[in-house]
C-alpha cells in the first residue's frame, strides 16, 4: 500500500525559520514535525511506500530529500517527489502519477504539518467497510476553532452529507467535526481532479459529499496541532514537552507576548 504526504507549502507564516529550514523538518519537541506524520502512517500494517510531495528543485525540497537519504530504518520506503506547489489537488494528482497509483488501488493521503495521533489501520478498515470513494478523518473542535477548519456534517451511517471549508460564521458550520488532514482514497477519485492548481478541500470533497461518496471517520485524538505559525509552533512544543514529562521554560513569542 502507498501513502502520500503533501508537504510543498512555502511556510511563509513560519518565517524566519523557513528561510533556513524546510517546514516539515522544523523541530517540535526535539523531532522534525514530519516524523509525527510518519509515526501515524506506520500504524498501517500493509504500507510499503510513502511519497512526500515537496518542491524538490528548491532548497527546502533538497533538504527534505537529503534528510530521508540519511535517516533509514523505517518499515516502509520513503520517496521525495518534485511538485510545482499547485495546492492540495494539483500536487496530489502529480504525486499519485509519479507514485504509479493505478486503477482500483486504495491509498492514504495526509498533510505534512499537522501533528496528531491516529490509527491508520483502523481508519483503513472503516474505509473498506463503508465502500466510499474517500474517507476523511474527523475530530471534534471547540467553537472558537470552527471557522478556521473544514467542517463536516456526519449522518448516522457514517457518511458526510455536507462539507464546508472554513465557514465564514458559526451559522454556516453544519457541526463541530473538523477535517484532520488524513484521508483514505480510491484511485478512481484522481480522475475527478483537474490538472493544474486546485484544492481538494473546497472543490472535490463538497461535490463528492453531495453524491454520498465520502465517509467520515470520527476519532478523538489526545491532541491535534496545526503547526503553521510561530505562535502555534510554540504551543505545540509546550504541549508535547509537557506530555513527555518535561516542563518547558516560559516561552516568548517574536512579538514579545507571553
Read off the pLDDT of each residue in 138-157 and give the average, rounded to a whole number: 91
Backbone angles phi, psi at 17, to 5 degrees: -60, -40
Give pTM, 2 decimals: 0.89
Whole-angstrom distance, CA of residue 175 vs CA of residue 164: 10
Whole-angstrom distance, CA of residue 148 vs CA of residue 178: 9
Q: What is the pLDDT of residue 226?
A: 85
Please report the domains of the chain, with CATH numbers, ordered by start residue: 2-243 (3.90.550.10)
Q: What is the pLDDT of residue 191?
A: 86
Between the ranges 57-66, 117-126, 138-147, 202-211, where is the mean pLDDT highest? Answer: 117-126
Residue 185 has pLDDT above 50, yes or no: yes
Whole-angstrom distance, CA of residue 154 vs CA of residue 151: 10
Whole-angstrom distance, CA of residue 173 vs CA of residue 57: 39
Read off the pLDDT of each residue in 156-160 and give the average, rounded to a whole number: 93
The pLDDT confidence band at residue 248, using thresholds 50, 70 and 90, is low
The pLDDT confidence band at residue 209, using thresholds 50, 70 and 90, is confident
The pLDDT confidence band at residue 5, using thresholds 50, 70 and 90, is very high
In the numeric block, the cell 495546492 is attached to 87
Tell me the pairing of strands 134-140 and 214-218.
parallel
Amino acid at each position: 500500500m502507498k501513502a502520500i504526504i503533501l508537504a510543498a507549502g512555502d511556510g511563509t507564516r513560519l518565517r524566519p525559520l523557513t528561510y533556513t529550514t524546510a517546514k516539515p523538518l522544523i523541530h517540535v519537541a526535539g523531532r522534525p514535525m514530519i516524523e509525527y506524520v510518519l509515526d501515524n502512517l506506520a500504524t498501517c500494517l500493509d504500507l510499503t511506500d510513502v511519497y512526500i510531495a515537496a518542491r524538490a528543485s528548491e532548497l527546502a525540497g533538497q533538504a527534505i530529500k537529503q534528510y530521508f537519504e540519511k535517516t533509514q530504518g523505517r518499515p516502509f520506503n520513503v520517496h521525495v517527489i518534485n511538485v510545482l506547489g499547485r495546492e492540495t489537488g494539483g500536487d496530489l494528482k502529480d504525486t499519485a502519477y509519479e507514485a504509479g497509483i493505478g486503477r482500483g488501488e486504495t491509498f492514504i493521503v495526509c498533510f505534512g504539518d499537522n501533528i496528531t495521533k491516529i490509527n491508520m489501520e483502523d481508519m483503513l478498515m472503516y474505509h473498506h467497510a463503508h465502500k466510499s470513494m474517500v474517507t476523511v478523518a474527523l475530530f471534534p473542535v471547540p467553537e472558537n476553532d470552527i471557522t478556521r477548519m473544514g467542517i463536516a456534517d456526519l449522518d448516522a451511517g457514517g457518511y458526510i452529507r455536507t462539507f464546508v471549508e472554513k465557514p465564514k460564521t458559526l451559522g454556516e458550520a453544519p457541526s463541530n467535526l473538523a477535517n484532520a488532514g488524513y484521508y483514505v482514497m480510491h484511485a478512481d477519485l484522481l480522475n475527478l481532479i483537474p490538472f493544474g492548481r486546485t484544492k481538494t478541500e473546497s472543490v472535490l470533497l463538497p461535490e463528492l459529499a453531495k453524491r454520498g461518496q465520502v465517509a467520515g471517520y470520527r476519532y478523538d485524538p489526545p491532541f491535534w496541532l496545526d503547526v503553521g505559525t510561530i505562535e502555534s509552533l510554540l504551543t505545540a512544543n509546550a504541549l508535547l514537552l509537557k506530555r513527555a514529562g518535561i516542563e518547558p521554560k516560559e516561552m516568548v513569542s517574536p512579538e514579545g507576548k507571553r
